[in-house]
Amino acid sequence: MISASAVTKRYAQGIEALKDVSFEIADGEMVFITGHSGAGKSTLFRLLAAIEKPTTGSIVVNGQNIAALRRSAIPYLRRKLGMIFQDQKLLFDRSVLDNVLLPLSIVGMPMREAQRRARAALDKVGLLERERARPIALSGGEQQRLAIARAVVNRPSLLLADEPTANLDSESASHILDIFRSFQQVGVTLVVATHDQQWLARFSPRVLRLEHGRLVGNDT
Ligand SMILES: Nc1ncnc2c1ncn2[C@@H]1O[C@H](COP(=O)(O)OP(=O)(O)OP(=O)(O)O)[C@@H](O)[C@H]1O
Ligand SMILES: [Mg+2]
């Protein structure tokens, strides 16, 4: 489902965030991305989500080389993809419900159906009661769960999560792990960047380890 080959990402000033990275991830697999701060994890996520293009190399997602994708094809790719960012990117001037509705209104889903879906997603992460709150009124763990609801409201087949439990206490982190487990059970492909040992213990996933932009480990 995902195949990266010889991917390099070079930023201005010659910083090479990724160097000759190749790997494959099968449908329904859960893979863990790890590595020190600055190793290239978030860069890899941005490439997988077609937010940025690799400098060289190819990334094939569902048979499409996203490195060579036309701009007009990107929304179609995103429809099948849910992304949880390291810095959440919530809209703080909108309600919890509006945050989850956003991806559905972008694809033009009728309001009634969109609200039904958004509420189902909020219910799944235990935030239905807070639908009218502003994100600022939520705790860190609740904001993280809101970001998850927004990422999955489109029912993506691929979920990319960049440090979804960073800065959370172990109880909130554990709740998020349970939510991910339920996605795994329905066949969603999950790629998760994290340093959290709970993930390893709970899922024993395959781990891709980055070091200064190079893939130095690819094992379970
Ligand atoms: N837009 C950019 N322009 C220039 N350099 C960048 C840019 N984005 C990332 N970098 C650099 O690329 C390298 C990898 O950054 P990245 O954010 O991918 O690391 P990371 O593994 O996610 O780190 P962390 O664990 O701190 O989130 C770093 O040296 C970073 O400074
Ligand atoms: Mg990062």
- For ligand 1, whether the C-beta of 140 sits within 6 Å is no
Other C-beta atoms closer than 10 Å to the C-beta of 60 total: 16
CA atoms within 13 A on the CB side of 168: 26
- For ligand 1, whether the C-beta of 194 sits within 6 Å is no
- Residues 27/187, Cβ–Cβ less than 8 Å: yes
At 162 the three-state DSSP class reads strand
From residue 19, give the alpha-carbon distance in Å to each of 3, 54, 190. 15, 10, 23
Per-residue model confidence (pLDDT) at position 86? 83
pTM (2 decimals)?
Answer: 0.91
Q: How far is CA 16 from the centre of its chain?
A: 22
Residue 70 has pLDDT above 90, yes or no: no
For residue 210, the ligand 1 atom closest to its alpha carbon is: 21
Tell me how far the alpha carbon of residue 68 lies from the centroid of ligand 2, in angstroms.
24
Helix (H) or strand (E) holding 214: strand 214-219
Helix (H) or strand (E) holding 56: strand 56-61
Which residue has its alpha carbon closest to ligand 1 atom 12? 17
Mean pLDDT over 196-202 rounds to 78
Mean pLDDT over 193-207 rounds to 81
For residue 44, the ligand 1 atom closest to its alpha carbon is: 18
Helix (H) or strand (E) holding 113: helix 111-124
What would the two tokens of residue 131 be?
Answer: 């639908």
**What percent of the chain stands above pLDDT 90?**
65
Which residue has its alpha carbon closest to ligand 1 atom 7? 11
CA atoms within 13 A on the CB side of 92: 6
Per-residue model confidence (pLDDT) at position 41? 96
Return the amino acid letter for 61: V
Q: Which of 10, 15, 37 for mutating ligand 1's site (highest number of atoms within 8 Å of CB)?
A: 15
- For ligand 1, whether the C-beta of 54 sits within 6 Å is no
Kindly report, residue by residue over 177-186, the tens digit of the pLDDT: 888 999 999 9
Per-residue model confidence (pLDDT) at position 174? 87
Tell me how far the alpha carbon of residue 212 lies from the centroid of ligand 1, in angstroms.
10
Which residue has its alpha carbon closest to ligand 1 atom 27? 37
Kindly report, residue by residue over 114-170, the tens digit of the pLDDT: 999 999 999 999 999 999 999 999 998 899 999 999 999 989 999 999 999 887 888
Per-residue model confidence (pLDDT) at position 71? 81
Mean pLDDT over 18-39 rounds to 95
- For ligand 1, whether the C-beta of 217 sits within 6 Å is no
- Domains of the chain with bracketed CATH: 1-79+188-220 (3.40.50.300)
